[in-house]
Chain A
Amino acid sequence: MDKPVLFNAASARALKSRLGVKLAKPWRLMIEVVAAMLVLGGVGAVVVEMPVGWFLIGLAALPVMLIEWYGGELHHPPSEGESIDGLMSGDVLGLLGKNPTPQEVAKAAAKVRGGMFFALRFGLTENFLLNITSDKPEDTATIWENALKIRQESGSQHISGAVLVVAIIESFADRDSLLAHMKLDREDLIAGIRWFEHLRALVVQHSAPRRTGGIARDFSFGYIPLLKRFGQNLSEQVGVRINADIASHTRALDQLMDTFGNGGRQNAAIVGAEGTGKTTIVHAFAERILDAKANIPSSLKFRQIFILDSASLIAAAPGRGELEGLIMNVLGEAYSAKNIIICLDNAQLFFEEGVGSVDLTNVLLPILEAGNLRVILTMDEQRYLQIGQRNPGLINALNRISIEPANRDETIAVMQDQLLMTEYKRKVTYMYQSLDEAYRLSERYIHDLEMPGRALKLLESAAGYSESGFVTANSVQQAIEQTMNIKVGVANGEDERQKLLNLEDLIHKRMINQTRAVQVVSDALRRARAGVRNQNRPIGTFLFLGPTGVGKTELAKALADVYFGGEDRMIRLDLNEYVRTEDVARLIADGADDPTSLTAQAMKQPFSVVLLDEIEKAHPQVLTTLLQLLDEGILRDIKNREVSFRDAIVIATSNAGADRIREYIERGYKLQDFQEKFVDELISSNQFKPEFLNRFDEIVVFRPLEKPELIQVIDLMLAGINKQMALQKISVNVAQDAKELLVEKGYDPRLGARPMRRVVQRAVENLVAKQMLSGSVPPGTVIEVTREQVQQILGAE
């Protein structure tokens, strides 16, 4: 049997901790006042020749010793041994008495920093902890056991308040469902302890003295008035930034150190996508070389990094050739000063013509090739390649350092560090769940930046959606919903819930029959908004098969209108325009070149209905490209950016086999009887490949509309006309036999209900227009349309 873990409240460490807790600030102040009074009183007594003064001065040593002891040990007693009271943080240990109950442990943990951290960042407040703890002292042993395990697992030095909070939760029998309710799991809590410890370490690190060279540091280096005017000294900003450890950043820093610390060309090009932290690396480099204690080559020690400001340089030298002269002077100054490293941030601005940029290749290339002046360039991969294409010599002269995007853990760590500044500036507190959500949502929806920049961008914008000063997962969702006009959270508004539950009815207000098709898309949306769908696929992928004019496209439009917020939320592609291999490039073109490409539209509007019309006409290569979209909900654009379709409903339509459907119906088959067979026929007749059809969630066959349904279609059209005329307070009423005539004249078995719109337009709209122009219909009139009138108009034509 395992030996129970004991807590010794009478140990010397526990006594010291209790004294430390008791010596709160007012007490310490009083002790200091007593010490001062004893010294002053003693000195006064000695001066007036009273020997007792010596004793008073001597006595002052006792309060002084107590205060010193508090600062040196009582405040944070060092850990002793492996027992609970030996490892527990002094702040929480000092609050615990003999045989504490779990509730007393919870109270103590909630009162100290670690517990307050969990209350703030995770919402695990004192009340919450009290609700899940008992008042039986014998239950505390489980908490101690868990605390010892969690301390080891999280790598904490002490059993802090944070460790105890997690241990309390761990000891609760129904912890998993409790955490799930708060959208957390055990791993998150362990990560929370690490975050707390990291912040404590940062505070210690921040208060440690810095050695940055002193007053004589720059005596032997030159004056730099031009650089001060046209550049930004990063070395003066050292200490402001907090840098988390990212593997690719650490590697890049070492490479920078190596490049500038040894012989060879003294330049480095930091190449990486936007948001990977290229400028942050330059800041970190500036910080490292300014640290007298760092292990760096002496030739690099105390060098200062200046970022040149291209805009102010261009503004200061508007005349032809002036800029080149100015740049030469600035660089000459940097070279003469002997302690300057020049940084060209977004270096493409110095190598291409454009607004705010200028091509200085001819000036900079010889300097970079000579390799005497230390220069750091940062630019994104694409620009690097473009510049390399135009000027291979330039690329050959540079020492390239590649920066990879950060992974999830690194991004979370960066967010944990950077949010401190945002919290300070925006007066908000970020909860742990918001970081996780920011990573998840930014990965899916933000395409113009890479990690960690993209998650940070979202996290910062979420500060504007804080709830009572707290930035929660919901704030992050709101931020992305407002900026991208999408819906990412689970449906929780009453309106939206009702809309989802009655989606079929709403769609049927503008669509007749095709109940199965309406049901499958409605089900898909409900699954998505209830959060039970596969997040790594589109909301739904459907193939609608059937003859023309039966409502395939109409359903997509209705869905976009009813749920996605308007027919303009539909991305429509007529695939009969994508019949060549080269059309694949058009499909995935960059938005800057072709805003109508599929990827560009989805990037702009991820929450939409994607309608791929007449899919059977597309080139096989186009269909192959679309496979990944259907499968994983992503498509890479021409710039290799991942574009998400995971918030879209993808509907492909096809007329393939329309005659066959009609034939089945005419022979008296019901839709459900022949659907499977029909799909097999499509495969065997090579109209579609099985691997393509398999990618769809549902294949829905639309049947031709029958006469009563066509009359309902007429009713819908008439409702549309009446809606348009409502402003003029005039309405139209078409007699039943007139409607039947309209169906008779408008229905074409090959074209479905489509010609009916033209017939209604000719017969009804023209008639109404004529009557209105003749002035015979005052407002409030109901225009009655009879079969004879319809007959007359249509017959005449």
Chain B
Amino acid sequence: MPLLYLTHQWYNVVMVLVINLLRWWYTDGWRKRTRLIANRLDGTIDYFSIDLLLKTLFAPFRQISAGRVDGPLGVKMRALIDKLFSRIIGAFIRFIILVIGGIVIGLQAVLGVMILIGWGLVPLFPVIGLMLTLIGVTF
């Protein structure tokens, strides 16, 4: 029967596609999603430039009073104090950014992990939904 043949053909095509979708979802799809989350995290780390902040934590802020000063002891002392002050200001600003950056990166990492776990469960959502419906769960 041509109709039966066609239906059979369509069934085969749909099954091949479904199997391929699931295979992709749990292999390349998951890998790609992980890479995407890692890239975003990397972008945030770059935005807050954590490594640079750590490396230059105590460097004078914007090179203010950072130059070498020659002269009498009083002038040198004054320059040293200015430099120290510049370093303290720099360290303070960097520390604040480090803390904010740390929090944002931490939250993003947690969210990323949750997304990755959720990714594995997505194909099960219709089944879970059906079960919840059958059980009759409501708020």
Point out residues on A near B: beta carbons under 8 Å: 12, 15-16, 19, 42, 46-47, 49-62, 64-66, 68-69, 72-73, 78, 209, 211-217, 219-223, 292, 302, 336-338
Could you tell me if A219 and B138 are in contact, using CB atoms closer than 8 angstroms? no
| Cα distance A68–B128 in the bound complex, in angstroms | 20
| Cα distance A220–B24 in the bound complex, in angstroms | 47
* Cβ-defined partner of A55 (8 Å) among B17, B53, B60, B126: B126
Could you tell me if A12 and B16 are in contact, using CB atoms closer than 8 angstroms? yes
Closest residue on chain B to residue A56 by CB atoms: B129
Interface residues on B, range: 35 or more
Per CB-CB distance, the 10 closest pairs between chain A and chain B, nearest first, are: A58-B129, A222-B63, A61-B125, A214-B49, A54-B132, A220-B56, A220-B59, A216-B49, A58-B125, A58-B126
CB distance from B84 to the nearest CB of A (A): 15
CB-CB under 8 A for A219 and B56, given A58-B126, A72-B32, A336-B66: yes
Could you tell me if B42 and A219 are in contact, using CB atoms closer than 8 angstroms? no
20 contacts between A and B (CB under 8 A): A42-B129, A46-B139, A51-B138, A55-B126, A55-B132, A58-B129, A61-B123, A65-B21, A78-B28, A209-B43, A211-B46, A214-B49, A215-B49, A216-B56, A219-B62, A220-B56, A220-B63, A221-B62, A302-B52, A336-B67
Could you tell me if A292 and B126 are in contact, using CB atoms closer than 8 angstroms? no
| Cα distance A221–B49 in the bound complex, in angstroms | 14
Could you tell me if A292 and B46 are in contact, using CB atoms closer than 8 angstroms? yes
| Cα distance A56–B132 in the bound complex, in angstroms | 11
Q: Which residues of A contact B20 (CB under 8 A)?
A: 12, 15-16
| Cα distance A127–B126 in the bound complex, in angstroms | 49
Q: Which residues of A contact B126 (CB under 8 A)?
A: 55, 58-59, 61-62
Tell me if B127 is interfacial: C-beta within 8 Å of chain A: yes
Could you tell me if B135 and A51 are in contact, using CB atoms closer than 8 angstroms? yes
Q: How many contacts between A and B, using CB within 8 angstroms?
A: 136
Interface SS majority for chain B:
helix
Could you tell me if A65 and B94 are in contact, using CB atoms closer than 8 angstroms? no
| Cα distance A483–B60 in the bound complex, in angstroms | 58
A57-B129, A219-B61, A220-B59 given; name 8 further pairs at CB < 8 Å.
Answer: A16-B20, A42-B129, A53-B133, A69-B24, A212-B46, A219-B56, A220-B62, A220-B63
Could you tell me if B52 and A211 are in contact, using CB atoms closer than 8 angstroms? no
Could you tell me if A59 and B43 are in contact, using CB atoms closer than 8 angstroms? no
Point out residues on B near A: beta carbons under 8 Å: 13, 16-17, 20-21, 24-25, 28-29, 32, 39, 42-43, 46-49, 52-53, 56, 59-64, 66-67, 90, 93-94, 97, 122-123, 125-130, 132-139
Q: Which residues of B contact A337 (CB under 8 A)?
A: 63
Could you tell me if A209 and B39 are in contact, using CB atoms closer than 8 angstroms? yes
Chain A CB within 10 Å, residue with most, of B39, B47, B52, B61: B52
| Cα distance A54–B136 in the bound complex, in angstroms | 9
Closest residue on chain A to residue B30 by CB atoms: A72
Chain B CB within 10 Å, residue with most, of A47, A55, A212, A337: A55
Could you tell me if B43 and A72 are in contact, using CB atoms closer than 8 angstroms? no
Q: Which residues of A contact B48 (CB under 8 A)?
A: 214-216
CB distance from A694 to the nearest CB of B (A): 70
CB distance from A420 to the nearest CB of B (A): 26
Q: Which residues of A contact B61 (CB under 8 A)?
A: 219-220
| Cα distance A58–B28 in the bound complex, in angstroms | 23
Q: Which residues of B contact A50 (CB under 8 A)?
A: 138
Could you tell me if A59 and B25 are in contact, using CB atoms closer than 8 angstroms? no
| Cα distance A211–B48 in the bound complex, in angstroms | 11
CB distance from A220 to the nearest CB of B (A): 4
Could you tell me if A215 and B97 are in contact, using CB atoms closer than 8 angstroms? yes
Chain B CB within 10 Å, residue with most, of A47, A60, A214: A214
Closest residue on chain B to residue A335 by CB atoms: B67
Could you tell me if A214 and B47 are in contact, using CB atoms closer than 8 angstroms? yes
Q: Which residues of B contact A64 (CB under 8 A)?
A: 122
Could you tell me if A54 and B17 are in contact, using CB atoms closer than 8 angstroms? no
CB-CB under 8 A for A214 and B46, given A51-B135, A58-B130, A72-B29: yes
| Cα distance A53–B94 in the bound complex, in angstroms | 49
| Cα distance A249–B28 in the bound complex, in angstroms | 38
| Cα distance A118–B135 in the bound complex, in angstroms | 60
* Cβ-defined partner of A69 (8 Å) among B21, B53, B64, B139: B21
Q: Which residues of A contact B123 (CB under 8 A)?
A: 61, 65
| Cα distance A213–B51 in the bound complex, in angstroms | 10
Could you tell me if B49 and A69 are in contact, using CB atoms closer than 8 angstroms? no
Could you tell me if A54 and B46 are in contact, using CB atoms closer than 8 angstroms? no
Q: Which residues of A contact B134 (CB under 8 A)?
A: 51
CB-CB under 8 A for A57 and B125, given A214-B49, A216-B52: yes
| Cα distance A292–B46 in the bound complex, in angstroms | 8
Q: Which residues of B contact A221 (CB under 8 A)?
A: 62-63
CB distance from A354 to the nearest CB of B (A): 36
CB distance from B104 to the nearest CB of A (A): 12
Q: Which residues of B contact A59 (CB under 8 A)?
A: 125-126, 129
CB-CB under 8 A for A51 and B132, given A62-B126, A336-B66: yes
Could you tell me if B29 and A216 are in contact, using CB atoms closer than 8 angstroms? no
Could you tell me if B133 and A55 are in contact, using CB atoms closer than 8 angstroms? yes
Could you tell me if A69 and B29 are in contact, using CB atoms closer than 8 angstroms? yes
Closest residue on chain A to residue B32 by CB atoms: A72
CB-CB under 8 A for A216 and B53, given A54-B137, A65-B122, A72-B24: yes
Q: Which residues of B contact A213 (CB under 8 A)?
A: 46, 49, 52
Q: Which residues of B contact A60 (CB under 8 A)?
A: 125
Closest residue on chain B to residue A11 by CB atoms: B16
Could you tell me if A47 and B17 are in contact, using CB atoms closer than 8 angstroms? no
| Cα distance A197–B59 in the bound complex, in angstroms | 47
Q: Which residues of A contact B135 (CB under 8 A)?
A: 51
* Cβ-defined partner of A219 (8 Å) among B93, B128, B139: B93
* Cβ-defined partner of B28 (8 Å) among A55, A73, A212, A336: A73
CB distance from B109 to the nearest CB of A (A): 17
| Cα distance A148–B28 in the bound complex, in angstroms | 27
CB distance from A41 to the nearest CB of B (A): 12
CB distance from B25 to the nearest CB of A (A): 6
| Cα distance A53–B133 in the bound complex, in angstroms | 7
CB distance from A8 to the nearest CB of B (A): 13
| Cα distance A763–B133 in the bound complex, in angstroms | 124
Q: Which residues of B contact A55 (CB under 8 A)?
A: 126, 129-130, 132-133
| Cα distance A50–B134 in the bound complex, in angstroms | 11
Could you tell me if A72 and B59 are in contact, using CB atoms closer than 8 angstroms? no
CB distance from A39 to the nearest CB of B (A): 11
| Cα distance A62–B61 in the bound complex, in angstroms | 53
| Cα distance A12–B15 in the bound complex, in angstroms | 11
CB distance from A71 to the nearest CB of B (A): 9
CB-CB under 8 A for A222 and B62, given A211-B43, A213-B46: yes
| Cα distance A49–B126 in the bound complex, in angstroms | 19
